[in-house]
Amino acid sequence: MIDTEQQAAEMAPPLPTLEAFAELGQDKAAVARLYDLLLEDIQPDNLIERLWVRDIAVLTIRSEELRLVQLAVHKALMARTDAEFGAIAGGAQIERRSGATGEASEDRQPSSAICAQVAERAVGLTYSQHLAILNGLAEMESDVRRDRDRIVEQIGTRRRGMVHNALDIILEAVRGGEE
């Protein structure tokens, strides 16, 4: 019987951990593992292609690390929002007035609609204050992926050119044999 979980684990690309990134910078072990896997798949023909494959590995891991940083920022913002919201909602008591007399009756907890409005406001304020950071991280990730994809395209272009050159040589040899 085939163990699909084991096969999936073996095929999964090595992803960096945020801990390794925070302590050491780029996760060099993840880059090395991905580089080895890419070497098997791409099978570079020369030094230039091996350098490109290394760049692809480095940029892919950098992109994943930026995603982890974005996630950490989102989690930190939400934790901050939860703390602020808890302080606002926990301390607020809404007074309920009874009927026509307008007399105050017992205090009660805020309604869920009011809590939702307070929560939305807290999240909105938190994210609007830190939107530049989040946008900057997203732009950095996009730039890294664009650079990586450009290198992948370079390898493809080079290989397509090599195929055309090989075909030209073959055609030339065939034509030379016909003469």
CB 69 within 8 A of CB 21: yes
Q: What is the pTM of this model?
A: 0.60
Are 61 and 27 within 8 A, CB to CB?
Answer: yes
Six-digit token pair at 176? 């030379």
Higher-confidence position of 95 and 105: 105
Q: For residue 144, what pLDDT is reported? A: 94
Structure tokens at 103: 């007399």
Tens of pLDDT along 104-161?
445 555 566 666 666 666 667 766 777 788 888 899 999 999 999 999 999 988 888 8
| Domains of the chain by residue range | 12-92+105-178
More confident of the two residues 5 and 30? 30
